[in-house]
Amino acid sequence: MQPTRVLVVDDHALFAEALSARLGREPDLVVLPVAASGRQALSLAATERPHVVLLDLDLGAENGLDVLVRLRERHPDVRVVVLTAAEGVDTVVRCLRRGAVGFLSKTERAERVAEVVRQAARRGGWVPPELLGEVLRRLLSGPPEPDGADRLLADLTPREREVLQCMVDGLNRAEIADRLGLSANTVRTHTQNLLAKLDMHSALEAITLAMRAGMRPSEEH
């Protein structure tokens, strides 16, 4: 199995260097040069091809949420985990809605950060357990879509709906390909298309919308 390539985006040099050094001791992680700004993050994401980005929300004059959106738009396969001093359910929900797959406080131990990086690379995610229930409630009961969630799903092709159902069932790309008899690249294309049609930045956001429209895990799952 190839090592997971990790990009740390943080303008606090001492913290970023210490974290990079600690993660670099993990045999299955390769830590890339630190990005101290959103511009550097986008440049390094393009040249170094990280699998996981650890992103601080406080980047001086830059808004980390804007950097998150730009990373997801330009590099949709990159898994972004927010690692920040900011806390609270509202902050977590905003990050997830913009495509983050995980949220960690800077007070977490390095061992936890390394494990969340591994989970993110395996297409998993992480939300602090004490916040998870409220975060899910907010995501599922968010503001109604202008035309209704069911109207948005109506724009999907039958195959895209099948892929979305598989996502609701908790399947990863390889498992979706196996269930539907498709190649992984075809599943990737369908996933990107359905996210674009729904104006979503992450699988979690699409799943939340699907469940608000009444889609539930299937019996096959």
Q: What is the 3-state secondary structure (H, E, C) of 93-123?
A: HHHHHCCCCEEEECCCCHHHHHHHHHHHHCC
**CA distances in angstroms from 111 to 34, 81, 116, listed in the order given:** 19, 15, 9
Selection from 24-33, 166-175, 211-220 with the highest mean pLDDT: 24-33
Residue 144 has pLDDT above 60, yes or no: no
CA 41 – CA 73 distance, rounded (Å): 13
Residue 40 has pLDDT above 90, yes or no: yes
| Crossing angle (nearest 10°) for helices 13-23 and 110-121 | 70
Q: What is the 8-class DSSP label of residue 170?
A: T
Q: What pLDDT, on the 0 to 100 scale, is given for residue 150?
A: 65
Confidence of residue 146 (pLDDT cuts 50, 70, 90): very low
Element (H, E) at 199: none
CA 39 – CA 42 distance, rounded (Å): 5
Please name the residue that has the structure tokens 């440049």: 43
Q: What pLDDT, on the 0 to 100 scale, is given for residue 145?
A: 45
Residue 15 has pLDDT above 70, yes or no: yes
Contact 65, 57 (CB under 8 A): yes
Q: What pLDDT, on the 0 to 100 scale, is given for residue 202?
A: 73
- Beta-bridge partner residues of 4: 29
Confidence of residue 208 (pLDDT cuts 50, 70, 90): confident
Q: Which two tokens stand for residue 80?
A: 């972004």
Contact 29, 23 (CB under 8 A): yes
Share of the chain residues as helix, strand and coil, in percent rounded to the nearest 5: 50, 15, 35
Selection from 24-38, 80-94, 114-128, 190-204 with the highest mean pLDDT: 24-38
CA 181 – CA 12 distance, rounded (Å): 47
Q: Which of 10, 14, 58 is nearest to 34 (CA)?
A: 10
3-state class (DSSP) for residue 2 = coil
